[in-house]
Amino acid sequence: MATLNVKSLPDDLHDKLKARAKREHRSVAQEVVSLLVAALDRPEALSIMDLQGLGAALWQDVDTAAHVEAERASWD
């Protein structure tokens, strides 16, 4: 397992990290690992271009204008 040393960590950031670790019942090192895992293991966000055409098959046989009108009418 690798070791990570952080230099020049601002005191206020270290204080926040210690407080968060205490709230989570972890050591500072465990909290740093937890934060890094949460930040780095997120799935990559899709581009709007990746969404193009998504769900098109669901709307293939639907009159979209009539659908929108029906939805708007249901709001009243």
Confidence of residue 47 (pLDDT cuts 50, 70, 90): confident
What integer pLDDT is reported at residue 46 of this predicted model? 81
The pTM of this model reads 0.57
**Structure-token match 């909290």, residue found:** 31
Distance CA 11, CA 9 (A): 6
Cα angle: 57, vertex 42, 40; to 5 degrees: 150
Chain-centroid distance of CA 37 in Å reads 12
Tally of CB atoms within 10 A around 31: 19
Q: What percent of the chain has pLDDT over 90?
A: 71
